[in-house]
Structure 1
Amino acid sequence: MTPSPRSRFPLYLDLIRWNRPAGWLVLIWPTLSALWVAAGGFPGWHLLAVFVLGTILMRSAGCCINDVADRDFDRHVKRTAQRPITSGQVSVKEALALGAVLALVSLGLVLTTNWAAVAWSVPALLVTILYPFTKRFFAMPQAVLGIAFNFGIVIAFAAVRGEVPAMAWLLWLGNLFWVLAYDTEYAMVDRDDDLKIGMKTSAITLGRFDVAAIVVFYLLFLGFWVLALIPLALGAIFYIAIALALAQVGWHWWLIRTRTREGCFRAFRMNHWVGFTLFAGIAGSSLVG
């Protein structure tokens, strides 16, 4: 007997990590920050809706692609062995079809903006598809993930201004270091399993320098964002946000310093608060500016 679509729905929600919002929250905050910077304040309800919904949809599509690519590896990793595709509850064809639908809906949202944003969405999709496969041969696949995640910044500027200025690329570079920081924390959780199956991750590549490197990545992230936004003279609220973000970096160091699975996973899950803090500083500064 063929299962009804209703009975499949919880499996699809599990596939796209609906109950684990940390993955799309770390995407949404830098994207919204870029949107606010590009627009000089509130960008309007249309663009806000496009980028919030588009970010969630593309992250969900990325989960489908990632789990299809990693299905033979995931069964050997304690944390991922029960994912819907790996456990056989969802077929590869179902996952790819769901990912394609989500990506197409996201593209439809971008089509309501301008052609510059649409043009940048094409390489964004290609890098999203490429990323899972880089874990087989590239020593720092987290850098490729960062490139994929950072397209939200580029597309936001393109949608508002029709171009991507130097400021956007500085934000892009800074955000790349943030992705390296939090995804290395994530990779530290699975390091023992990844070593057994031959998966490449930044946690393995960095070895005993992993904790120090993560702190440096955080500092580079915040440093590049300050450098990019200095010309805007955002004022005290923004710099208070930077100070609060630095305090969170210290907390993350405390959580990961002993490299326990629990501490590293908690640090990863709490990263969205760093992004929210910066967004709050930018949005708050635009209100009083």
Structure 2
Amino acid sequence: MTKIENRIKVAPKDTIRQGWVNRLSPDFAWPYLQLMRADRPIGVWLLLWPCLWSIALASHWQYWQPENWRFYLPNLGLMGLFALGAYVMRGAGCVVNDLADRKFDAMVERTKGRPLPSGRVSVLQAFLFLGALCLIGLAVLLQMNDFTIWLGVGSLALVAIYPFMKRITYWPQITLGLTFNFGALMGWSAVTGGLEAPALLLYVGGIFWTLSYDTIYAHQDKEDDILIGVKSTALKLGATTPKWLAGFFILMIGCFATAGFMAGTGAGFYIGLALVAGHALWQLKTLDIDNGEICLRLFKSNQRLGLLLFLSILAGHYI
């Protein structure tokens, strides 16, 4: 058996078996890259898109002038910093989650092969790796203005408590939404040095977005969640999930539309937002809460929804 075949055999079922982590990573780095979900970039995108939305919308809010509209472009350097920050901090969040859930993960078929429950990474090694990721994240954060730095520090409380919310409430997805969309506030403040109403509306809209996609995701694990005693919106909402998702998506679109209006975007934004709404409608039409493969595919499709909103904001400047 080759090294790659052996890795694939022992890798967790929720990894990408033929992904670059299993095929190309050095032996010393392999379990740590799995621990931070480096082979599953969807989480990075879902964390990054609210940052990019707010950078683009704040740039329009602050810098747009009729005579200069052709030369408008959000700050690419700032977007790059947020991309790096999203990559390492999403990885850090995965480590925190796996440390908290290692006993539960050992009882679930999909997750029992993860580095911590399988013993390929010790608890001490995971904490040391977490510290290294946080130091990189801190180095990125220190490139921002003071207000954004303090916002970033404040967001760590949400990162710390999220993994434990599934033990307490059937609505842990709200805490995830508060956490994953914090970049909507930080991206805006990195451009403007403060917070205005459009940033808050982007943030709230993003929370409803997260409630939608993570409820869909949670339907994959509902049988295991019942067995091990953890909670989720999938269990809470059950067969009424599609109706709730429709409400979440409507509130999401309403928040985004109001944010664009308050920021002074043009007609192009609303044309793009109609495409965002169409994507949400497609998810509702396609959803089968008892089909794990469909739930995973719809969850991953939200990467495209985030891209559509970002392009809508750019279109709102030019059109």
State the TM-score, normalizing by the size of structure 2.
0.85
Letter in 1 for 2:287: I
Rounded to whole Å, the distance in 1 between the matches of 2:206 and 2:87 is: 18
Residue in structure 2 matched with residue 28 of structure 1 by the alignment: 48
Q: Which runs of 4+ in 1 moved over 4 A?
A: none
Task: List runs of 5+ in structure 1 lacking aligned partners.
Answer: none
Amino-acid identity (%): 37
Shift of 1:47: 1.1
Residue in structure 2 matched with residue 9 of structure 1 by the alignment: 29
Residue in structure 2 matched with residue 278 of structure 1 by the alignment: 309
Instruction: Determine if contact 2:219/2:289 at 8 Å carries over to the other structure.
Output: no
Indicate yes or no: 2:101 matched with 1:70: yes
SS class of match (2:143): coil
Provide, for residues 137-181 of structure 1, a one-character-per-residue CA deviation record: whole Å limited to 9, x for no partner.
122001001111121111112211111112211111111000000
Residue in structure 1 matched with residue 38 of structure 2 by the alignment: 18
Instruction: Determine if contact 2:198/2:262 at 8 Å carries over to the other structure.
Output: no
Shift of 1:258: 4.8
Relative to 1, partners in 2 of residues 1:123 and 1:190: Cα closer, same or farther, differing over 3 Å? Answer: same
Q: Relative to structure 2, which stretch is displaced further, 85-94 or 139-148?
A: 85-94
Provide, for residues 76-131 of structure 1, a one-character-per-residue CA deviation record: whole Å limited to 9, x for no partner.
22221211111111111212211221122111111111110110011211210110
| Match runs of 1:31-46 below 5 Å | 31-40=51-60, 42-46=73-77
Shift of 1:241: 1.5
SS class of match (1:76): coil
Provide, for residues 47-92 of structure 1, a one-character-per-residue CA deviation record: whole Å limited to 9, x for no partner.
1221111111111110011011011111222221211111111111
Rounded to whole Å, the distance in 2 between the matches of 1:98 and 1:205 is: 35
Rounded to whole Å, the distance in 1 between the matches of 2:156 and 2:289 is: 37
Rounded to whole Å, the distance in 2 between the matches of 1:55 and 1:113 is: 14
Letter in 1 for 2:288: R
Indicate yes or no: 2:247 matched with 1:227: no
Instruction: Determine if contact 1:211/1:257 at 8 Å carries over to the other structure.
Output: no
Rounded to whole Å, the distance in 1 between the matches of 2:229 and 2:78 is: 42
State the TM-score, normalizing by the size of structure 1.
0.94
Rounded to whole Å, the distance in 2 between the matches of 1:15 and 1:35 is: 29
1:136 to 156, 163, 167: 167
Rounded to whole Å, the distance in 1 between the matches of 2:246 and 2:120 is: 39
Instruction: Determine if contact 1:38/1:157 at 8 Å carries over to the other structure.
Output: yes
Residue in structure 2 matched with residue 100 of structure 1 by the alignment: 131
Rounded to whole Å, the distance in 2 between the matches of 1:45 and 1:229 is: 21
Shift of 1:16: 1.0
Q: How many residues align?
A: 284
Provide, for residues 226-269 of structure 1, a one-character-per-residue CA deviation record: whole Å limited to 9, x for no partner.
01111334223212211211221122113323531111111111
Letter in 1 for 2:233: S
Task: List runs of 5+ in structure 2 lacking aligned partners.
Answer: 1-24, 61-71
Rounded to whole Å, the distance in 2 between the matches of 1:11 and 1:162 is: 39
| Alignment root-mean-square deviation, CA | 1.6
Task: Compare CA radii of gyration and give the structure with the larger one.
Answer: 2
Instruction: Determine if contact 2:260/2:313 at 8 Å carries over to the other structure.
Output: no
Rounded to whole Å, the distance in 2 between the matches of 1:20 and 1:83 is: 13
SS class of match (1:170): helix
Rounded to whole Å, the distance in 2 between the matches of 1:150 and 1:51 is: 13
